[in-house]
Amino acid sequence: MTDTATTQAAATPTPKIRRAATHFDANPAKAGWITKSVLIVLCALWLIPLIGTLITSFRTTDAAANTGWWSVIVHPSTLSSLTLQNYKTALGGTTDMGQAFVNSLAITLPATFIPILFASFAAYAFTFTEFRGREFLFLAIVSMLVVPNYVAFIPILKLYKIVGLSGTFPSVWLFHIAFGMSLAIYILRNYMSTLPKTVIESAKMDGASHYQTFYRLVLPMSVPALASFAIFQFLWVWNDLLVALVFIGPGSNQPVTVALTELKGQLGQGWELTTAGGFVTMILPVIVFLALQRFFIRGLTAGAVKG
Partner 1 sequence: MLAKALTALLTVVAGIGAALLLYWVLNWISERLPDNWEHRIKPYLFILPAFLGITVYILYPAILTVINSFKDNFSRNWVGLTNYRTLFDSTYFRGTLFNTLLWILIVPAACVIMGLTVAVLADRLSPRGEKAAKTVIFLPMAVSLVGAATVWRFIYDSEPKGSTQIGLLNALLSIFHKGPVAWLDTSTYHLNSLLLMVILLWIQVGFSMVLLSAAVKGVPVDTLEAARIDGASERQIFALVVIPQIRGTIITVFITVTITVMKIFDIVYVTTGGNFNTDVLGNQFWTQISTFFNYGAASAIVVIFMIAVIPIMWYQVRHFRSEEAA
Partner 2 sequence: MRSLAYRTALLGAALLAGAGLTLTACGSGSGSGSSNSTTVTIWSSVDPPVKAGLEKKLVSELKAMGSKINIQWSTVTNINQLIITKIQAGGTPDIAYIPQPGVVAQMESLGAIKPLNSAVDMSSLEQNMVPGMLQAGTINGKLYGLLGSANVKGLVWYNKPAWTKAGWQIPTSIPALESLMSKMKAKGSATAPWCMGINSTGSQGWPATDWFETLTMKDYGATAYNEWVTHKIKFVSPQIEHVGAQFAQLLFPNGNAYGGRSAIASTGFDVAGNGLFTTPTPKCWMYMQGSFITGFFPTSVQSSLDKSVGVFGFPPATAGGQNPVEGGGDMLTMLNDSANVQTVVKLLSQPQIGDDAAPTSSFISPFKNFDMSLYPNDTTRTVANIMYKGDTFLFDGSDAMPAQVGAGSFWTQMTAWVANQESLNAALTNIDQSWPTSGS
Count of CB atoms within 10 A of residue 27's CB?
10
Q: Binds 8, which of partner 1, partner 2, none (CB < 5 to 8 A, cut-off by type)?
A: none
Distances (CA, A) of 194 to 198, 245, 278: 11, 39, 38
**Which residue pairs, CB below 8 angstroms and at least 24 apart, start in 63-72?**
64/272
Q: Residues 145, 154, 287, 302: which binds partner 2 (CB under 8 A)?
A: 154
Distances (CA, A) of 183 to 32, 86, 127, 145, 176: 36, 37, 15, 7, 11
Q: Binds 166, which of partner 2, partner 1, none (CB < 5 to 8 A, cut-off by type)?
A: partner 2
Q: Residues 72, 90, 138, 200: which binds partner 1 (CB under 8 A)?
A: 138
Spatial distance between the Cα atoms of 302 and 293, rounded to a whole number of angstroms = 19
Q: Residues 69, 153, 289, 295: which binds partner 2 (CB under 8 A)?
A: 153
Q: Residues 20, 38, 50, 65: which binds partner 2 (CB under 8 A)?
A: 65
55, 72 Cβ separation under 8 angstroms: yes
Spatial distance between the Cα atoms of 100 and 250, rounded to a whole number of angstroms = 10
- Residue 118: CB minimum distance to partner 1, A: 5
Spatial distance between the Cα atoms of 53 and 280, rounded to a whole number of angstroms = 12
Please identify, using beta-carbon distances, which residue of 184 and 244 lies nearer to partner 2: 244
Q: Residues 68, 193, 262, 287: which binds partner 2 (CB under 8 A)?
A: 262
Q: Binds 129, which of partner 2, partner 1, none (CB < 5 to 8 A, cut-off by type)?
A: partner 1
Lay out the site mask for partner 2 across 89-128 (x = CB under 8 A, - = otherwise).
Answer: -----x----------------------------------
Residues 211-230 binding partner 1 (CB under 8 A) are 211, 224-225, 227-228
